[in-house]
Structure 1
């Protein structure tokens, strides 16, 4: 899953905790854990996470 690998890369690069990222991105501290366990994100969630990663990458 591309979204999860993008999140993992972001977390390694920034040092942000999984729960902190999920809370900041979509107000769900279990987001990353749930994705690893098979949660299938909808298009809105994917777009929101991608936008946050892109905004903080610059």
Structure 2
């Protein structure tokens, strides 16, 4: 499953705004918007996002 799909599911489930998620995850409020626009995240960003998603499960 793609990272963006997992983020979107997390956002729907928790009600956290995309900008807040990006700020908490990697200090980038545009993260989710940029991913939706085709941005390819690096390994460090993926690891930080994965950590947040794992905490929520």
- Both structures adopt the same fold (TM-score exceeding 0.5): yes
Could you tell me which runs of 5 or more consecutive residues in structure 2 were left unpaired when the two chains were aligned: none
Number of equivalenced pairs? 57
Q: Secondary structure at the match of 1:29?
A: coil
Could you tell me which runs of 5 or more consecutive residues in structure 1 were left unpaired when the two chains were aligned: none
Structure 2 length-normalised TM: 0.93
Match of 1:48 in 2: 48
RMSD: 1.1
Structure 1 length-normalised TM: 0.92
Superposition misfits of 4+ residues, deviation over 4 angstroms: none
